[in-house]
Amino acid sequence: MKRVAMKIAYLGSGFSGSQAQPGLRTVESQVLEDIGKVLKTDDPGLSFSSRTDKGVNALGNAIAFYSSMDDLLVLAKALNSVSDGVFYRSFCEIDDEFNIRYASRRIYRYVLDGEGIDIDKASECCRLFEGEHDFFRFCRYDGKPTTLRIDSISCIPSGDCVVLEFNARYYLWNMIRRISSAVEAVGKGKRSLDDVQAALNGKDISFGVGRPDALTLQDVQYDMLSFTEADPKAIQARRKEHVMDESLRLEFYKALRCISNKYAPPNPEPWAY
């Protein structure tokens, strides 16, 4: 019996978060279903590196479980062939004592609508959060210590969007979405850098919580582990099908906009929309 670590990817819109919840489809319930089909077991000792809320995406969350199958390349291929919504991207063997939650770093990306954002102000706001701070005003408090360190936050223009990339060992609940909301508010001139600094110093200021589907867990990294990529063919066939689905949805919304413009009255009443 081998203990395995795997990197998995999933689109958050298909799940009610990562952790098991009675009566709801979650990433954990899907992974257990996949493992059950391939390994014929109901209790593989599954554990997750990182929790993601409903709607949050992942390209490289990490899981650990026990496998009776020795060939891990075949195991990953089999899991990809039966799964509905989870992609098994890479794998490695780990020992029984290894705790999958003890990652060296976690990298997240948050995408903001770039319209009206002053990139220089947004970047300066990001720098306020770097280093060690008490993030009590920038999390959903759940009893855990709120002082931690963010190694870096990059602010990157990308087409019509602004991408924030976070690098730290761990984060608090809702922390990235609250920080991202603050960065957006400063970048659009709705809040000041002094407001952010005051909140970091303990002043009771709320900047709101950003939408969950704009957040992606890019990768969970371990300095002591070396992961092997899964067979790309097993992933590409499913990826192609999902890309086609999204392309059809995009064409629908493009056509809807064109139809609206075509039939809009020349001088619409103020209440028309």
Contact 62, 103 (CB under 8 A): yes
What is the C-alpha to C-alpha distance for residues 177 and 198, in angstroms, rounded to an integer? 19
The two three-digit tokens of residue 176, written as one number: 């990235």
- Non-local CB neighbours of 175 within 8 Å, separated by 6+ positions: 135, 138, 139
| Strand partners for 158 | 161
Please count the other Cβ atoms lying within 10 Å of the Cβ belonging to residue 267. Answer: 6
E strand map for 114-262:
131-134, 147-158, 161-168, 215-221, 228-229
Backbone angles phi, psi at 88, to 5 degrees: -95, 105
Radius of gyration of the chain (CA): 21
For tokens 């969350």, the residue is 61
| Dist. CA 153–CA 109, nearest whole Å | 9
Q: How long a stretch of residues is the chain?
A: 273
Residue 182, token pair as written in the block: 């603050």
CA 141 – CA 143 distance, rounded (Å): 6
Catalytic positions are 53
Give the C-alpha separation, 44 to 48, whole Å. Answer: 12
State the Cα–Cα distance between residues 147 and 175, nearest whole angstrom. Answer: 12
